[in-house]
Amino acid sequence: MLTFLAESTVHTLDPFVFEIAPGVGPRWYGVSYLAGFVVGWLLLRALARRSLIPLRADQVGDLLTYLVIGVVAGGRIGHVLFYERPLLWTFEPSFPWWGLLAIHKGGMSSHGGIIGVVLATWLFARRNSIQVGAVMDAAAFVAGPGLGFGRLANLVNGELPGKVLPASMQADPPWWSIKYPDEILSPTFPDPAALEPLRRLVDPLRPFPESLVDAAYAGRQDVIDALVPLLPAHHPSQVFQAITDGLVLPLVLVIVWWKPRPAGTITGAFFVAYGVLRMTTEQFREPDAGVFAIGAITLPMLLSLAMVVLGLAGCILVRRAPRIGGIGGGRS
């Protein structure tokens, strides 16, 4: 759960939907992917039934299979190549043996997933003799909800936290800011000595301060209340990106596709809109440790900028392609 206080929100969400055994069970992260694919499937079927895309309703399931593989493979490979290349040569004696395959330990890149979807749609279109731009448009149009669900899963997992609020706001942080109990485990936690008086609140036989974090996530209000004054408040960047990816981005694409457009236009619009929105929300997100950056411009921003450029170029190049779509039923 999220513990709402007058001055801030404390992150105490459980990444598991339920646990079959300690550390074993379905996670909200997996549920978010499933929800994104289900919503995508429903939207694709609706587009096919209205003849807005050159796919039959019975082809939607096949396309979705390609998209699932593209998202998962592209997202994981992209994460490893962009952010954790040492996983390429990391091997362990237990399943899945290779660091690249250890998806259960987290690490999926949205930019990598988008690249994977582009390749998957291209392959599907070529194998089924369908115009590539039209298939890419269909995939781009339904991608937003899945991206938004993924960001909510990041929030549940306590991943990708936002930047710390300015010092002037820390004394009385707003309710929408988030504090993370596990931040006390970080080597950069500013005042470890301040945790010592809290030992009395937890089992002295358990490792400290890990026991404090466990107690907070178990819902111990006394521990949460004691930790709150020691924790910095962060921007809720996961929420910002869930809103932009899951709501704003689809709205932009609906507006663009309200009337028929040349095949490939929606893909270009997706690239431009996602890139701009991602660069905007990245201003509130804490950069990953060790991520490549040029000054204040981080790798995710650079990748998003490349998407904007490619999207604009794509919209220009496809302007003479056959028109498809028309969500509003309009005529070109």
Mean pLDDT check: name the lowest of 50-54, 59-63, 84-88, 255-259. 84-88
Question: What's residue 37's pLDDT?
Answer: 96
Please state, as a whole number, how many other Cβ atoms lie within 10 Å of the Cβ of residue 172. Answer: 10
Give the mean model confidence (pLDDT) for residues 132-152: 97
Measured distance CA(108)–CA(75) in Å, rounded? 5
Q: Is 82 exposed, middle or buried (0-12, 13-18, 19+ CB in 10 A)?
A: middle
Burial of 128 (0-12, 13-18, 19+ CB in 10 A): middle
Report the SS3 class of residue 319: coil
Angle CA 261–262–268, to nearest 5: 90
Q: Which residues contact 272 (CB under 8 A, 6 or more apart)?
A: 307, 308, 311, 312, 315
Axis crossing angle, helix 249-256 with helix 265-281, rounded to the nearest 10? 150
pLDDT tens track for 85-121:
888 888 888 778 888 887 766 678 999 999 999 999 9
pTM for this one?
A: 0.92
Domain map (residue ranges) of the chain? 28-160+236-324
Say what the pLDDT of residue 332 is: 42
